[in-house]
Amino acid sequence: MAHLLMVESWVGAMSSLLPRAIHESGHRFTFITRDLHHYLRSAPAHPHPLLAADNVLTAETNDLPALLDHVAALHEVLRFDGVISSCDYYLATVAHVAARLGLPGPDPRAVERAYRKDLTRTALAEAGVPGPRFALAEDWSATARAATALGYPLVIKPVDLCAGMHVRKVADEHQLREAFAAIEAFPVNARAQPRVRTVLLEELLTGPEVSVETVTVAGTTHVVGVTDKSLAGSPWFVESGHMFPADLDTAAAEEVAVRAITALGLDDAVAHTEVKLTPDGPRLIEVNPRPAGNRITELVRRVTGVDLPAVYAQLAVGEKPDLRPADTGVRSAAVSFLLPPRAGLLAGVDGDLAGAPDVVDWALKGEGHRAGDPTSNNSYLGHVVVTDTAGRGARAKAERLVGALTVRYAEEQA
């Protein structure tokens, strides 16, 4: 039985899936965080799965030098076999901790290149991996000049945020200025870490988007499968659903994803790589050096039997995972998300998901939840996961179910 150190976590699906995967792999974990209440607030009605850790410790996880010394001292007593996190903001931290302790893990520099969108763009352009035309800028005047050179419409992104936050399509300089100001007004991320001021401008790509789910072991990248994606909420890029496997020809996307992972230097890693299938061929969007979120790993598991959170934990302790697919009887699986029509206080969501056929998982926000505007993947009011044992019909089933739901607001009840 191996002992993992988990440094922070997301509070969404992976905060349950990763602890479950660690335990089902026969291992145990210690959880360390700077703010335990961040997790308790996310699950007020029941104990958070992260509290199933052998030890729950508090330390300043945003101070890397101090954390390295602190964890080295803990290691003398608790003896860790691997280090892990599901939270993007701590992936490089985990890689540095593993390196300090002499434990398995990817190169910290490769993880940072993959996590930071500006570093990814630069590295992949130098390696000749196809992507959008892009520019980097740090102040408004440089941003405006770069946008004029690229041409409108274009996409503006912060380089170090997740879940599609502040990623926006802009059609002219007025919209660009508005988007730039919104990013500037967000100087720290949700974990109180100072943000990089650089913004990324990209040409607007058209075509379906997919994610390539991979596992790289000892220098060889294995494609587990490809997920397709539904987007909503223009000018935002909110992920409204996913289906696995993608109902598209994805061979070229797989090749681009493997090239990107190689160029970034990622090894002994699970990755979730997003690719746009444009009329001119596949273009690399981003590489995430961890298992996919948004319940995509559950879609993969239900179709192939490959449990990517468990694979992630196995790699962290130096084990070689079994990536052979199994015949689960499921031919496709899909998740569809309920987005709020607008911000406001919920009175409830009407509709029956529990009794619907082929539903394997669902959840909805209840009365009293304060919905935000539907501008990022943090806006969801709920989800439904369905499977199809006959073919690629899971997405249509999931979308019909979510489309039949009705969101009620408290002010409309008054």
* Positions in the chain short of pLDDT 70: 42-46, 412-414
Render pLDDT for 275-285 as a digit per residue (tens, 0 to 9): 999 999 999 99
pLDDT of residue 375: 94
**N-term to C-term CA, the chain:** 56
258-263: Cβ within 8 A, 24+ apart = 258/212, 258/214, 258/221, 258/223, 259/127, 259/129, 260/120, 260/124, 260/129, 260/284, 260/287, 261/214, 261/216, 261/221, 261/287, 262/221, 263/123, 263/124, 263/126, 263/127, 263/129
CA separation (Å) from 201 to 191, 220, 261?
Answer: 25, 32, 22
Encoded tokens for 23: 């335990």
> What is the pTM (predicted TM-score) of this model?
0.96
Q: How far apart are CA 148 and CA 135, in angstroms?
A: 11
Question: Is 4 within 8 Å of 22 (Cβ atoms)?
Answer: yes
356-382 pLDDT tens trace: 899 999 999 999 999 999 999 999 999
Q: pLDDT (tens digit, 9 = 90+) per residue, 233-269?
A: 889 999 999 999 999 999 999 999 999 999 999 999 9
pLDDT in the model for residue 297: 98
Q: Cβ–Cβ contacts within 10 Å for residue 250, how many?
A: 23
Domains of the chain: 3-103 (3.40.50.20), 133-203 (3.30.1490.20), 207-326 (3.30.470.20), 329-414 (3.30.470.20)
Rounded CA separation 347/368 (Å): 6
pLDDT of 295: 97
Backbone φ and ψ of 354, nearest 5°: -65, -35
Q: Which residues is 241 bridged to in the sheet?
A: 230, 336
AA letter at 231: L
User: CB under 8 Å to 225, separation ≥6 — which residues?
Assistant: 213, 244, 245, 246, 300, 303, 304
Report the pLDDT value the prediction gives residue 233, as an integer from 0 to 100. Answer: 86
* Burial of 129 from C-beta contacts in 10 A (0-12 / 13-18 / 19+): buried
Of 169, 328, 295, whose CA–CA distance to 227 is shortest?
295
